[in-house]
Each structure stands twice: as C-alpha cells, then as structure tokens.
Structure 1
Amino acid sequence: MNLPQTIFFDAVGTLFDVRGTVGEIYAQFARQAGVRVDPQQLNTAFIQSFRTAPRAAFANASPQALLRLEYEWWRAVACQSFETAGALSGLEDFDAFFQPLFTYFETAAPWILYPETLKSLERVKALGIETAIISNFDSRLYAVLQALELDSWFQSITLSTQIGAAKPDPAIFEAALEKHRVLPTQAWHVGDSWTEDYAGATAAGLRGVWLNRKGAQPDLGAQAMVAARLEISDLAALEGILQAQS
C-alpha cells in the first residue's frame, strides 16, 4: 500500500483532551455559583447525557443560526447533566450560569495537548502528506486549535455541526474528501473512537487507524473489521506505520 495523500485526524481524544474531566470543570463552575455537586457523579451524568443526546449535526444552517443551535445543543446536554446529578435546582438562572461555561471551552484552559501530537504532525508533514481534521465538535474548535497553536497544521477542518452529518455517517467523510479532491482509498483517518472514527472511516472507504490509548476492546460485532484493524496506542506510532508503507 502506498502512502496516503491525506490523513484526517479526530480532534478531542486524539490530538488533545480535556484537562481532568468535564464533570470536574462543571463542578468548579457550579461551586463558583454557590452550588456543591460531586464531580465524579456529575461526570457520569455528563457522559450519559452526551451519549444519549441527538447528533450535533445541523444541515443548511446559516452561520448565525449555527452558533445558536450549537449553544442550545450543549446547553441541553449540560442542563440534563446537572439535573441527573441532582444539582440543577440550585442554578436558578441556568442561562447566566451556562454562558461563561460554554465560552470557557473555546479557550486553552480546559484542554491538554498530548505530548506527541506536534512531533507526530511534523513527521507526517515531512512525508508530504496533507493533514486535516474531521470532528463531531462544534465551531469553537477553530478557537481551540488557535489557542493550542495547532491551527496552522491543517489544510481543512470538517465539522459535523456544519456538514449536517456526524461520524460515523459516511457523509461527513465524503465532505472532507471532497475538500482535498482525493478518493477514499487515498486517505486515512485517525481517531480514538472505535465506532465513530475507525468503523465510520472504514465504512466510508478510508483506511481507518484506531488510536486506542487505553487498551480498550473493539466492538466484537464486526469480526472481519476487528481482525483487520490498524491500531496504535499513541500518535507517535503512526510514523512507523507510514514508513512501512513507503
């Protein structure tokens, strides 16, 4: 197999991650508002709310409408998280509480860059391969990448909220491929989610690379995919795989 022309990367959990947990950050903001809530319980509630929420994908929304839809989507997830954790009643004006919390996540403060990210991107670039992002995050990702000094590394950014389709839907991969004018067989996608990144990319015809930092077990419902998977434990391992293809 030849080197790919383009490698797409997931964002959160792949290039960078939350500093601590979302529950800890939510609980910190709640304390500032005079509400005490257990961070671990709140994080469990957040994960449940996030996973059961409808996909954050808004087709044909104007830029102004998109920002409103993104805000309302995350507000609903956060509101449900606090309600499940039994702390919503203390936050009487939830909009006033949530606005600065929402804005906080577009700064560098709540994020931590994986130590191998920059060097790995540099090595991919040195091989003449274009790099890009496919993410189910929202428009704040542009500000986050800039804050983390990652924005100059990517030729394109494809977001579910802007495309109207979220990973693992093939449509978001197709939209990203079109930006680079490459065939699925000419592109790889690297991400930490077995379902959204690896299985989604593979189903769309790309070469999926599963970034399995925690040694998780894949979905055994796809035996052929499991047997043929390309798996790495960190981004640094990507270089060895690429060298083997050259």
Structure 2
Amino acid sequence: MLVFVTHTRAVIFDLDDTLFDDNASMRAGLLGVARPHTHLAGRHPDELLGEYKRVLGEFYPAFVAGQLSLAEYRARRFERLHGLWGIEGVPGDVSFEAFRTAYQAARQAVPGGLELLRALRERGVKVGILTNFIRPEQQAKLDACGLTPWVDALVTTSEAPPKPDPGSYAAILTALEVQPNEAVMVGDSWENDVVGARAAGMRAVWFERWGGEVAEADVPVVRDFAPLEAALRALLEESASAP
C-alpha cells in the first residue's frame, strides 16, 4: 500500500474566482441592474460582465489608495456603467444596491472548493486566504459559502497591502506561522497569485478554469478542484512512498 507524503504545511488561496465564484455572483448582480431597462434585454451577461470588470479596474486603484471612500467607489463605478449602458435618471448608489441584492443571493463556492479545504485540514495542512478586498466583504463570502470553519487565517486589504505587494504575502505567512518554502499559493491571477507569490519565495499553482495557456512550463496548472485527489497532489506536491 502506498501513502502520500508532503512537506507543504500551508496552502494559501486567493478568494474571488478561486474559492468563491465571483463571476457567477457578478453576472447575477449585473442582470439585476439591467433587468428594468428594456433596451439592455438583448445584451449577453458575459458582455455586461466584461464592461463591468473594465470599470472596476478603472476605479479600484483609487479606492485602494484611499482617494475614494467605499461609498464613492461603489456609486461611481455604476455611474460610469450608466453612461456606457444608456441608463438615465438613476443614481449610482441605487444601481449598486440592486446589484448587491442579486449578487448576494447568488453567492456560491467554486465547485469542489469546500471539499478541498476540508481535505487539506484533515491532512493537517493549514489553510489561508489572501485576498485583495476589505475584510467585511470577504468574510461574508466565506460565511455564505460555508468555508469559514475550514480557514485558519484570512488576510485582506484591511490588514495588509494588496497583492502583489510583498507585504501581503509576508502578512499571510506570519498569520499561518509558516516559512515561504513551506507554503503554496493558489489563485487565478497570474500576476498576483503566481508571479508575486514566487517572488516571495513560495511555490505557486495557477488556478485557471477558462482554458488559458500557462506562461511558464514549471508552474503547475489546476483547471478544476475535481477529482479531489488530483487537486490535492498538485497543491501539495505529494510523492508516493511505502509505509
């Protein structure tokens, strides 16, 4: 009989679109905003999502830098979308609340994510979350998806600079009480979860569900968290040995 041996003491996950299906919630939220406006009825949800992500990218740096309050960040991105989508006479904060209601109703874990966290903890491996948004929002996602009991440490932009700042990786390693060579980072962002993590001395696994090509051959790629055993072997870099 073979047993699997790993020297990995902690697995650190990104949250949005790694463990939490942020794309699914965003699509639902945007449909909640668009639904009352009949001229948007023919727009594909993925098209709306692409435009929304571009607007997020425009305003997020100012929010992180403290140049926009949370309320301003929320309202202004929808004011910009109103201009793109031809919505008139609706305040940005009203559209945000419509988005938020539908977004929260659609919250769900990425398939296999909960089972993966449970399996890691059962093997004695610590689980950390390193995410580029504020703690109240990210903690609520973990709670809604039933992931919280399986997480040892959560580091957000409320406590540390955003990835790929080196301070973000240092913060989660400290919280988990592990060294960089004892941890692996898993996430969907090549820059934040692969390049930044490797620069911090960690091994990295790219979580890529959409068929993208890996930029470097020595970076493991996980497309799905099922089957569970295959995902565990990739994350933990396990080797087989006789007991």
Give the TM-score, by structure 1 length.
0.79
Change (3 A) 1:35 1:141: farther
Q: Which of 46, 51, 58 matches 1:45?
A: 51
Name which of 228, 238, 242 aligns with 1:244. Answer: 238
CA RMSD of aligned residues (A): 2.7
User: 1:28 maps to which residue?
Assistant: 32
CA distance in 2 between partners of 1:243 and 1:44 (Å): 35
CA distance 1:114–1:204, shift in 2 (3 Å): same
- Equivalent position of 1:115 in the other structure: 111
**CA offsets per residue over residues 21-48 of structure 1, 9 Å max, x none?**
635532323334x564234443221121
Equivalent pair of 1:57/1:163 in contact (CA under 8 Å): no
Q: Does 1:159 align with 2:152?
A: no
SS in 2 for 1:53: helix
Structure-1 separation of matches of 2:221 and 2:204: 9
TM normalised by structure 2 equals 0.80
Call closer, same or farther: CA 1:104–1:122 in 2, change over 3 Å.
same
Aligned residue among 188, 197, 203 for 1:201: 197
Distance 1:141 1:131 in 2: 15
Question: Residue 199 and residue 112 in structure 1: after superposition, are their counterparts in 2 closer, same or farther (change >3 A)?
Answer: same
Asked if 2 retains the 8 angstrom alpha-carbon contact of 1:19 and 1:112, the reply is no
Supply the distance in 2 between the matched residues of 1:164 and 1:36 (Cα, whole angstroms): 42
SS in 2 for 1:227: coil
1:144 aligns with 2:141: yes
- Residue 10 of structure 2 corresponds to 6
**Aligned letter for 1:44?**
G
Distance 1:123 1:163, change over 3 A: same
Pick aligned residue for 2:99 from 92, 101, 109: 101
Q: 1:164 to 1:110 in 2, by over 3 A?
A: same
Residue aligned with 1:131, SS: strand
- Equivalent of 1:231, from 221, 228, 234? 221
Paired residues of 1:17 and 1:112 also in contact (CA < 8 A): yes
Partner of 1:173: 169
Distance 1:69 1:110, change over 3 A: farther
CA distance in 2, matches of 1:19, 1:111: 10
Q: Could you give the per-residue CA deviations for residues 184-222 of structure 1, whole angstroms, max 9, x where no partner exists? A: 111111111111111111111111111122220234xxx
- The answer to whether the 8 A contact 1:23-1:40 is kept is yes
Structure 2: distance between partners of 1:57 and 1:171? 15
Label 1:128 to 1:80 Cα distance change in 2 as closer, same or farther (>3 A): same
CA distance in 2, matches of 1:71, 1:103: 16
CA 1:144–1:30 in structure 2 vs 1: closer, same or farther (change >3 Å)?
same
Taking the aligned partners of 1:156 and 1:101, their CA distance within structure 2 comes to: 29
Gaps of 5+ in 2: none
Structure 2: distance between partners of 1:167 and 1:42: 26
Q: Give the unaligned 5+ runs of structure 1.
A: 60-67, 220-225
Return the alpha-carbon distance in structure 2 between the equivalents of residues 172 and 57 of structure 1: 13
CA shift, 1:182, in A, is: 1.6
> Hey, what's the Cα distance between the residues in 2 that align with 1:82 and 1:245?
53
Which residue number in structure 1 is paired with residue 80 of structure 2? Answer: 80
- Structure 1's consecutive aligned runs of 4 or more residues displaced over 4 angstroms after TM superposition are none
How many residues are aligned here? 227
- Taking only the aligned residue pairs, the percentage that are identical comes to 25
| Cα distance in 2, alignment partners of residues 182 and 58 from structure 1 | 29
CA drift at 1:103 = 5.3
